[in-house]
Structure 1
């Protein structure tokens, strides 16, 4: 856009100089040169308008995504009070009923189905609530290798049940950053679980890795799954976009926002049939907390 504007003004100045020269001394082919320059100016103007429209559309899309997340944040507060509390009571009573009914009884199967569905509802509500309280923790100095080891320990039993190998790739030296550890752990768990779901029933490997890259630190979540389809890749960070039958489409949007709140960035690299790697880039230097982080700390 800026380059087009510079060329436009350069051609306009050239046309003015050519006209000025014509007043003092006739320039051979003046009319043709003027016509050529005018056509170039017209073409550049059209290109500039087209670029401006594209930029405007991108800004509108970004604003729409932000408004979607804000809408979910408002919904989450209402959901917490109106749904979660009574649902907890229902879960408690179902568990009591399950203890009194023999496992071979037909009703035992119905109770199990209801408990599983309630757990699924609880998971969906938790994802919505996470949108409204992304930056709810205190900033702390964290040893990243230890945080990755703790995260791996939390996920190990789930990986064993799925028949998936969960590995760690850590540097020899300790790496410490000032950040909100709860949010970072939430992102790692979310990405690792997505990786295990992508691998599915086939055997595979999920790797949590840590790299020192000078001014930044890179955490990686790598899987040997089927990869992300090219048509889905541009939209995976959009709120509510999901390829899962039971997904909410908020996990990656929340993860991206959490990392950006911590002063970093979240990127993805994928190859169909070979796997996917998510890169969490975090700055080493202490970053000024955003307004949402600052408000949560002041509370």
Structure 2
């Protein structure tokens, strides 16, 4: 029993350590804070100080190699390489600074990967500086810990952050490897009288300090990732709580509006009642009834339009807002429209994007949207052909769902009317399916669009906002 419990806990560990996907706006905000607001001033000061010590001061020249005494000659080859790399480092950072200062106008994809690339370059440059300032025991070791924290803030995407901090750890390992290799090289090729000045040899190299510091780097990497998981899960919970409250308030307000509209139905119904009463009297008196019948028909049509508007609103307060996975809801809709036992000849192609944000909606509403659009595609193709269901991440934290078919398409003159209630070109159709789909989507601030050409099929594009957005009409 205990073994099973431990195994179940172990199996759930990856899910517990999974970082909720931060939306693009939050990722850019992190980069703006860490890389531009904090990183640029700090890095500019560090570059100025390093330029002085590398080119205008003899401080690096006076450094003794690892294990040597005060009179040992400096590592001139390493120092020359560091100086050349520093010039390249300054040029690259100048370009990165320009991009960060104008990051609002730059493609966000570029900003993310440029920050990732400069983080790798920072780790390599720090490894070089550490190598010429005392090796694994250099005071610059503590900057590696700072880089790990910086990477955790600037790169919230789990895979990128872990790979980047593993690179930081590897760079410190390279410092230790370089220390051992240099000691070997000195022992083998230097003159015997110079070798006596370097009492540290590969046999004298003590790994305890190096292993302790490396363990601390690995521990810091794990801690930063763990803290990010906790903070991001709390952020996601708070965000979903706010979204749930906003959605509920929206639906309650819409329900009150539906009640008010229903109350307004009494007026046309009253007119219908009076007209019918007058019609009765007119028939008895033998007068023409054409005018009274026309009034009744007009008011009936008016009532019908109002009732159509109420169709979707009437059930708003019955259901509860839930946290829905788009992919799961699409699969349920496909199973409803194309049940496995029915053996439809239509082929369903799925192109689902990973890590889509959840939707805060009523399950019945989103189900009606997907089912009605899929059913329209099935009927248009006479249950034969290809249907492609695809999802992708949209702008403003939204989910885009496209449902396309290779059926006969929709005639151009019918396109503006496909979402109108009761419009249908089918013999047994009600004309309400696409109207309900459009209505349910617009309740949550979304939209449905259709593109079609005769003979080339039809594509419906459904935009579903994952966050509540209040739009002010002008």
CA distance in 1: counterparts of 2:426 and 2:410, whole angstroms = 12
The yes-or-no answer on 1:208 pairing with 2:389 is yes
- Report which of the two has the higher share of strand: 1
Contact 2:444 2:468 (8 Å CA) reproduced: no
The yes-or-no answer on 1:70 pairing with 2:306 is yes
Larger radius of gyration, structure 1 or 2?
Answer: 2
The yes-or-no answer on 1:183 pairing with 2:419 is no
- Unaligned stretches of 5+ residues in structure 1: 1-64, 75-128, 289-299
- Structure with the larger RCO, 1 or 2 (CA within 8 Å, 6+ apart): 1
- Report the Cα offset of residue 276 of structure 1: 0.5
Q: Deviations over 1:160-200 (max 9, x none)?
A: 53311122210122431211221111111111011011001
SS in 1 for 2:343: helix
**1:102-113 residue pairs with structure 2 within 5 A?**
none
The yes-or-no answer on 1:245 pairing with 2:427 is yes
CA distance in 2: counterparts of 1:283 and 1:168, whole angstroms = 21
TM-score of the pair, normalised by structure 1? 0.51
Q: Deviations over 1:4-35 (max 9, x none)?
A: xxxxxxxxxxxxxxxxxxxxxxxxxxxxxxxx
SS in 2 for 1:145: helix
Q: Across the two proteins, how many residue pairs are aligned to each other?
A: 170
CA distance in 2: counterparts of 1:277 and 1:175, whole angstroms = 23
TM-score of the pair, normalised by structure 2? 0.33
CA distance in 1: counterparts of 2:371 and 2:437, whole angstroms = 10
- Report the Cα offset of residue 132 of structure 1: 4.5
- Unaligned stretches of 5+ residues in structure 2: 1-300
Contact 1:204 1:225 (8 Å CA) reproduced: yes
CA distance in 2: counterparts of 1:227 and 1:169, whole angstroms = 21
Contact 2:324 2:361 (8 Å CA) reproduced: yes
Per the alignment, residue 261 of structure 1 pairs with: 443
CA distance in 2: counterparts of 1:270 and 1:169, whole angstroms = 20
CA distance in 2: counterparts of 1:282 and 1:223, whole angstroms = 20
Per the alignment, residue 400 of structure 2 pairs with: 218
SS in 2 for 1:149: helix
- Report the Cα offset of residue 154 of structure 1: 2.6
Per the alignment, residue 164 of structure 1 pairs with: 346
- Report the Cα offset of residue 205 of structure 1: 1.1
Distance 1:73 1:265, change over 3 A: closer
Q: Deviations over 1:29-73 (max 9, x none)?
A: xxxxxxxxxxxxxxxxxxxxxxxxxxxxxxxxxxxx996442346
**1:78-89 residue pairs with structure 2 within 5 A?**
none
